A and B are shown apart, each in its own frame.
Chain A
Amino acid sequence: MNELRKSFHSDLDDAKKELVALAASVTEAIPRATAVLLEGDLEGADFIIRGDDEIDARSLDIEEHCYRILALQAPVASDLRQVVALLKMVAEVERSNDLLCNICKAARRIYGHELDPKLRGIISRMGEQAQQLYDAAIESFIENDAAKAAAIDDMDSYLDGLQKQFVQAIFESHAAGRIDLQVAVQLAVVARFYERIGDHAVNIGERVNFVVTGWLPEHKGAQRYRARMDITGEIPRDGMADLAGDPS
């Protein structure tokens, strides 16, 4: 069998490598941001926040690379799915790095405040879990492994559970007078940032599934919406909000 369009396919592979490298940079930054938070490392915070410009620039390059492929190569079938997936994934990765910057900014705001061991332990575990989710998402993309990509959703449930535990621990710590209200609020937001990073990894996994199988993740929500339309015969007045049900 003759391989045709070799230079196009190697160009497409390059775009994929760029995305994988970008995601790897963000994955490596997750434990750094956690260390910044736990150790009150202001220099480290600056380093990560400044580094976001580079992540933005690389994201833009990948986006432009994808536009160039679309404009010049007219990709179809799995090639087209890959380009579309790259465009969606790059936004997820770029946004995840923004969230790491937000964690660093929160670290600045609570600088000098002692955190009790329980809080520190959960922060540490949230950071580890978010990193594992990202690792799995990127591996599934490299290997085109839809099964591995599907497992990310389950891994994310554990991170969601940690977030809930953490919020409870913040309440307890605040009630016992170990942290003041401002710190409590900052920590609650930090928990939310980790949880969102996990969601972005889940979204990447869903795009991997799309590349491999052609199935768009939004189908689940769309099906609920259509089922609702079939019953009522009209678009619900409150829009999609009440259809969200169990967003996955």
Chain B
Amino acid sequence: MHADGPLTESTELRMDQLTTESAAAPAADTAAVFTTQGLEVYYGDFRAVRDVDLTIRQHEITAFIGPSGCGKTTVLRCFNRMNDLIDTARVKGSIRYHGVDLYDPQVNAVEVRRRIGMVFQKPNPFPKSIYDNVAYGPRLAGIKKRTELDAVVERSLHGAALWDEVKGRLKASGLSLSGGQQQRLCIARAIAVEPEVILMDEPCSALDPIATARIEDLMQEIKQQYTIVIVTHNMQQAARVSDRTAFFTTEVNPESDRRTGRMVEFGRTSKMFSKPDDERTEQYVTGRFG
């Protein structure tokens, strides 16, 4: 698992080129990890979200905000092809991951999900021990040696700021932990397979403020190694933790009375919360529209 397999059989990721390109870009911008253009997601013939044009940059936290039903989770799930698991879902437009078309038929969705991990709204540890939760992915990837697994588990639990709390009871069930600890266990499980990107779908919505603050601190720490995309209903959380923010809204088609999500504005978080360009963003963040 440590030697990254190629994402596709024919297309090697050309990281060296990407690095060179990013060096020429303005100093403030890190390399692009994902770039979407004209992205739309359909469920059957229903267009759930459109106009998604954004760039997710390396070692940054990108937040998606917007009212319910605006398509932010749908877009998040495109980044690791989780929407493939829904029969009727299909994607139009392009999502490029390091320049590679993520939806190219040759792209291996399992390898995509190895590189792009996900943490969900509700902590969902497996009904296994803390150790086995974290070791699950590495075992699937073929690591058998106990010492090697031990090292991965310890490193991942450290990485998720959970080690000190659980090191004496690694054999206890993951479900015996508190909600906040369970969510950090899920983060440890996600980073155990050494992904490049971690997608977080409202990771703190089931947690109390202290557990939330821990996760937010943890996000700041781990963004040095990973790239994070977070969907959140908590605008202040987006303001606190993210480097860039995408604002989505919903539009109702008067004829069909169907709601379609739409990305309205994408920019640096400091700007989105102080002087957004789009009036709709302004109205949403100031609470004049909901």
Listed in ascending order, the chain A residues whose CB lies under 8 Å from chain B are 1-5, 8-9, 74-81, 213-214
Contact = CB atoms under 8 A, between A and B. Distances in A.
Contact of B236 (A1, A8, A74): A74
Nearest to A84: B274
A25 B79 CA distance: 59
B267 interface: no
A79 B274 contact: no
Interface string B18-42: 0000000000000000000000000
Given A76-B235, A80-B274, A81-B274, A8 B289 contact: no
Contacts of A80: 273-274
Given A4-B289, A9-B288, A80-B273, 5 more contacts: A2-B290, A4-B287, A5-B288, A74-B236, A77-B285
B289 A1 contact: yes
A7 to B, nearest CB: 11
A77 B289 contact: no
A86 to B, nearest CB: 16
29 contacts: A1-B283, A1-B288, A2-B290, A3-B288, A4-B287, A4-B288, A5-B286, A5-B288, A8-B287, A9-B287, A9-B288, A74-B236, A76-B235, A76-B239, A76-B273, A76-B274, A76-B285, A76-B286, A77-B273, A77-B274, A77-B276, A77-B281, A78-B282, A78-B286, A79-B286, A80-B273, A81-B274, A213-B275, A214-B275
A81 B275 CA distance: 9
Contacts of B275: 77, 81, 213-214
Nearest to A6: B287
A3 B288 CA distance: 5
A93 to B, nearest CB: 24
A77 B288 CA distance: 11
Contacts of B285: 76-77
A5 B289 CA distance: 9
Contacts of A5: 286-288
Interface of B: 235-236, 239, 273-276, 281-283, 285-290
A79 B275 CA distance: 10
B48 to A, nearest CB: 22
B269 to A, nearest CB: 10
A4 B274 contact: no
A2 B250 CA distance: 14
A75 B286 contact: yes
B283 to A, nearest CB: 7
Contacts of B235: 76
A24 to B, nearest CB: 27
A214 B273 CA distance: 11
Contacts of A3: 288-289
B109 to A, nearest CB: 38
Contacts of A78: 282, 286
Nearest to A215: B275
B279 to A, nearest CB: 10
A77 B236 contact: no
A141 B283 CA distance: 20
Residue from B235, B276, B283, B287 having most chain A Cβ neighbours under 10 A: B287
Contact of A214 (B274, B281, B283): B274
A124 B273 CA distance: 46
Contacts of B276: 77
A206 to B, nearest CB: 16
Q: Considering the complex of A and B, which 8 residue pairs feature the smallest CB-CB distances, nearest first?
A: A214-B275, A5-B287, A4-B290, A4-B287, A76-B273, A79-B286, A76-B285, A77-B286
Contacts of B281: 77
Residue from A74, A75, A76 having most chain B Cβ neighbours under 10 A: A76
Nearest to A8: B287
A214 B289 CA distance: 21
A113 to B, nearest CB: 53
Contacts of B290: 2, 4
Contacts of A76: 235, 239, 273-274, 285-286
B139 to A, nearest CB: 44
B286 A2 contact: no
A3 B276 CA distance: 19
A186 to B, nearest CB: 46
B82 to A, nearest CB: 31
B220 to A, nearest CB: 19
A36 B274 CA distance: 45
A74 B240 CA distance: 11
Contacts of B274: 76-77, 80-81, 214
Nearest to B235: A76
Contacts of B286: 5, 75-79
Contacts of A9: 287-288
Contacts of B236: 74
A183 to B, nearest CB: 51
Contacts of A77: 273-276, 281-282, 285-286
